[in-house]
């Protein structure tokens, strides 16, 4: 084992203690709200008539797909006029405080707070109303605990529907602006212009970009507001009831007179939005269909951002079984495969107060479809543990959405030399979970690259300084056990290049270039979780060069005179560059 490996391992050991200390400190919070109630979303597009795509955006605003974890507070209005000036070249928000205030004023001016109450209570112009929406959503939101509690009361399950009134305060208004929209043609033209300018500067050949897609890309700017609805407002509302089937419209229209902020600002985010398709697709979407896709893609990205920061958007539920870990949540709450959850336990302090302390991290394994489950007999979703200590029944699961991305850095020993290694991973299980309900977990796509150097190396009768680049793409399946450990298997392939540079300044001749070949790779891995988002991983990979060696000059052009049939492991080339490679990496999860 090389000195560099020993230094790296020592660094990991020191880091481990430091990371554990950080994790313990970060794991404590003073309060965790156990209850989870569904939230409702009302979507409103900020409409700017001067936008060249305004008509398409307005049409798309009526075709939004609401995630299953949210109730759809759909109103007849799907857009409002822009409350500030911008043009299609505007980027970002120059004054967030002013912008969010203007939007808030616009929402209040349009009486959106009253329209949401009318929606919830089914209020008609003549003052008649039906509470069907409240009743249905109260029952749909009920847990087995709620049902058990209701069955033990005098009122019985009727109170489950009445509990729907509590959900009115979870009414959110999602106001969004789609801006900076460009066609793929415009994007490709800009890329070509930049590449052409660079080629002229470097005196190299200009190569146009490969134009594989058509459609549109842009940016979504989302502003989230919440309907003010507390006990005081509810009391004002109840005063407007004339009888069991009628509301006094005049009294109804004065409910928010004494409320300073009937609609409250909550948060703001930005995200990319894309509505594209491959040119090779035999059936092409229409322009409107691409804009429908653009708007829904942007909204989905913005909601994912809000889920990472807003407690109310995070699913919370108690664990009902510890081995295996189970909880009574599922598709109804928007859970998908490999969704991350923190597990919290309550610790009583000496003064009688309680703290919530993070006990571990779990991920959903098979998501139960609970949308039509019988009241009081809800099914369960299974989870597997990836970090932390012992998990017991009664602890609280709290959804904490991540991106499903892993980034690793470390050292690799291969071909009797040490290499610097970088590895990126993308969880296919998480993204497949949005499409199909599957128990396939911890299934990932990975790509890694490593770099090595070799001084005074003789290749094909010439001695030069060589540098190796080893690039691999493949698939990886991991299995977690014993709370914080995992092992896995990898398979893939890639390209290895051996570059040299030997410039004779006296003759102004550049003899640099590189050899290249493809290879197959299979291997295994073992890892240990050392924190909320950090893992130490050891990977062993068998690399097998395949095919002939190709030679390229300093301009990247293939040497047509290089003989065919030369293998990477031939005696005159790189006979040692085949076999096992071992790497040690620190993996950070996002």
Segments in the chain below pLDDT 70: 1-35, 83-94, 151-161, 352, 502-510
Q: Taking the CB of residue 416, how many other CB atoms lie within 10 A of it?
A: 11
Amino acid 555: pLDDT: 80
DSSP 8-state code for residue 246: B
Say whether 575 sits in a helix, a strand or coil.
coil
Does residue 308 contact residue 401 with C-beta atoms inside 8 Å? yes
Distance (Å, whole) CA 25 – CA 22: 5
Distance (Å, whole) CA 481 – CA 483: 5
Give pTM, 2 decimals.
0.83
Angle at 292 between CA 287 and CA 295, to 5 degrees: 125
Using CA atoms, how far residue 510 sits from 342, 453, 462, in Å, is 58, 20, 15
The pair of three-digit structure tokens given for residue 548, joined into one six-digit string: 């002939």
Burial class (CB in 10 A: 0-12, 13-18, 19+), 120: buried
Q: Which of 97, 106, 481, 452 is nearest to 262 (CA)?
A: 106
Amino acid 504: pLDDT: 53
Q: Taking the CB of residue 265, how many other CB atoms lie within 10 A of it?
A: 18
Amino acid 36: pLDDT: 81
For the four alpha carbons of 200, 203, 205 and 211, in that order, the dihedral sign comes to negative
Distance (Å, whole) CA 396 – CA 28: 14
Set out the domains of the chain in order of their start, with CATH numbers: 39-180+216-271+287-309 (no CATH), 314-399 (2.40.10), 405-589 (2.40.160.20)
The pair of three-digit structure tokens given for residue 496, joined into one six-digit string: 């290895």
| DSSP code string of 2-24 | -HHHHHHHHHHHHHHHHHHHHHH
Q: Taking the CB of residue 488, how many other CB atoms lie within 10 A of it?
A: 19
Does residue 217 contact residue 272 with C-beta atoms inside 8 Å? yes
Distance (Å, whole) CA 83 – CA 103: 6
The pair of three-digit structure tokens given for residue 119, joined into one six-digit string: 């929606």
Amino acid 154: pLDDT: 55
| DSSP code string of 79-125 | EEE-SS---TT--S-S-HHHHHHHHHHHHHHTTHHHHHHHHHHT--T
Q: Taking the CB of residue 157, how many other CB atoms lie within 10 A of it?
A: 15
Distance (Å, whole) CA 345 – CA 32: 10
Burial class (CB in 10 A: 0-12, 13-18, 19+), 461: exposed
Angle at 287 between CA 283 and CA 290, to 5 degrees: 75
Q: Which of 200, 412, 398, 209 is nearest to 308 (CA)?
A: 398
The pair of three-digit structure tokens given for residue 12, joined into one six-digit string: 């990991």
Amino acid 439: pLDDT: 85
Secondary structure E strands in 428-482: 443-459, 462-481
Say whether 175 sits in a helix, a strand or coil.
strand
Amino acid 34: pLDDT: 59
Q: Which residues on neighbouring strands pair with residue 509, listed in sequence order?
A: 504
Amino acid 124: pLDDT: 94
3-state secondary structure 200-224: HHHCCCCCCCCCCEEEEEEEEEEEE
Q: Which residues contact 222 (CB under 8 A, 6 or more apart)?
A: 174, 175, 176, 177, 268, 269, 270, 271, 299, 302, 305, 306
Does residue 449 contact residue 410 with C-beta atoms inside 8 Å? no
Q: Which residues contact 34 (CB under 8 A, 6 or more apart)?
A: 316, 318, 396
Distance (Å, whole) CA 9 – CA 237: 66
């Amino acid at each position: 084992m090389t000195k560099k490996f020993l230094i790296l391992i020592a660094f990991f050991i020191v880091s481990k203690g430091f990371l554990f200390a950080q994790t313990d400190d970060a794991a404590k919070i003073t309060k965790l709200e156990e209850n989870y109630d569904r939230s409702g979303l009302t979507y409103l597009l900020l409409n700017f008539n001067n936008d060249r795509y305004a008509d398409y955006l307005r049409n798309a605003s009526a075709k939004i797909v609401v995630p299953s974890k949210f109730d759809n507070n759909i109103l007849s209005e799907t857009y409002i006029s822009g409350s500030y000036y911008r043009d299609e070249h505007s980027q970002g928000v120059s004054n967030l405080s002013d912008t969010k205030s203007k939007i808030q004023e616009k929402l209040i001016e349009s009486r959106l707070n009253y329209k949401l109450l009318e929606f919830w209570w089914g209020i008609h112009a003549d003052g008649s109303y039906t509470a069907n929406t409240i009743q249905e959503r109260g029952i749909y939101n009920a847990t087995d605990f709620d049902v058990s509690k209701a069955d033990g009361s005098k009122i019985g399950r009727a109170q489950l529907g009445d509990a729907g009134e509590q959900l009115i305060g979870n009414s959110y208004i999602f106001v969004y602006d789609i801006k900076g929209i460009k066609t793929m043609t415009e994007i490709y033209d800009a890329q070509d212009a930049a590449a052409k300018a660079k080629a002229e500067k470097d005196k190299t050949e200009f190569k146009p970009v490969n134009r594989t897609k058509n459609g549109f890309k842009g940016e979504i700017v989302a502003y989230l507001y919440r309907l003010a609805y507390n006990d005081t407002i509810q009391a004002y509302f109840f005063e407007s009831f004339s009888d069991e089937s009628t509301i006094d419209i005049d009294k109804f229209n004065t409910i928010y007179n004494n409320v300073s902020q009937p609609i409250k600002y909550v948060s703001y985010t930005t995200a990319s939005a894309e509505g594209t398709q491959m040119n090779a697709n035999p059936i092409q979407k229409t322009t409107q269909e691409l804009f429908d896709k653009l708007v829904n893609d942007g909204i989905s990205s913005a909601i994912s951002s809000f889920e990472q920061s807003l407690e109310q958007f995070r699913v919370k539920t108690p664990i009902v079984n510890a081995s295996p870990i189970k909880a009574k949540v599922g598709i109804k709450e928007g859970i998908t495969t490999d969704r991350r959850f923190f597990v919290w336990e309550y610790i009583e302090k000496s003064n009688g107060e309680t703290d919530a302390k993070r006990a571990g991290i779990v991920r959903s394994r098979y998501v139960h479809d609970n949308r039509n489950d019988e009241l009081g007999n809800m099914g369960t979703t299974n989870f597997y543990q990836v970090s932390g200590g012992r998990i017991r029944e009664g602890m609280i699961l709290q959804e904490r959405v991540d991106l499903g991305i892993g980034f690793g850095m470390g050292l690799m020993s291969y071909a009797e030399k040490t290499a610097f290694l970088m590895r990126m991973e993308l969880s296919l299980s998480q993204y497949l979970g949005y499409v199909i309900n599957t128990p396939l977990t911890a299934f990932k796509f990975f790509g890694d690259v490593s770099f090595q150097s070799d001084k005074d190396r003789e290749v094909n009768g010439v001695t030069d300084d060589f540098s190796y680049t080893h690039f691999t793409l493949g698939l990886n399946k991991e299995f977690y056990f014993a709370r914080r450990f995992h092992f896995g298997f990898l398979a893939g392939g890639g390209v290895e290049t051996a570059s040299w540079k030997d410039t004779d300044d006296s003759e102004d001749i550049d003899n640099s270039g590189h050899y290249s070949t493809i290879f197959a790779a299979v291997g295994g891995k073992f890892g240990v979780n050392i924190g909320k988002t950090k893992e130490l991983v050891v990977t062993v990979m068998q690399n097998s060069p395949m095919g002939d060696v190709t030679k390229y000059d300093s301009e990247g052009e293939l040497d047509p005179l290089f003989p065919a049939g030369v293998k990477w492991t031939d005696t005159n080339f790189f006979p040692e560059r085949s076999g096992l490679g071992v790497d040690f990496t620190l993996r950070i999860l996002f």
